[in-house]
Structure 1
Amino acid sequence: MPAVPAGNYYQQGQGPSCWDRVKLGFMMGFSVGMATGALFGGFTALRYGLRGRELMNNVGKVMLQSGGTFGTFMSIGAGIRC
């Protein structure tokens, strides 16, 4: 039976590049920000009495804003650590 490679994406002895870490930091921050925006934006919109299309538009906007903001800060933090 042939040996299966270890599956390392990076070459032997090298880790991810700084750009890869910044991208990963942004994606992790964006996902956490989107989830947080869905929770807080949804509760706030419901508290204001929004329903239907207004609710979806407002929650979507809050999700993108909080995801972008938190993703930016996480990518900056990952860039500083490089």
Structure 2
Amino acid sequence: MRISCDRCRSKARIATTREITPRLRKLYCACTNVECGHTFVMHLEFGHTISPSALDLPEATREALRDCASPAQAQLILAG
């Protein structure tokens, strides 16, 4: 992940992070431009799921997917 300073647009580095919740972190950042020297906090937040995790499937379904020889067979299991 690349962070930019909002003052001079130079690269910034993440010095430390702090977990607020499992879906929200505070990033404590510092600009790498010595003439700027800006330090700031950014929030990194989980937005939403695009494709659900296979870990959310029942164990029997996951076992059946592991036994599949092809992605097409896995799709048939998920569609059923």
Scaled by the length of structure 2, the TM-score of the pair is 0.25
Decide which structure has greater helix share: 1
Query: Which of the two has higher C-alpha Rg?
Result: 2
Scaled by the length of structure 1, the TM-score of the pair is 0.25
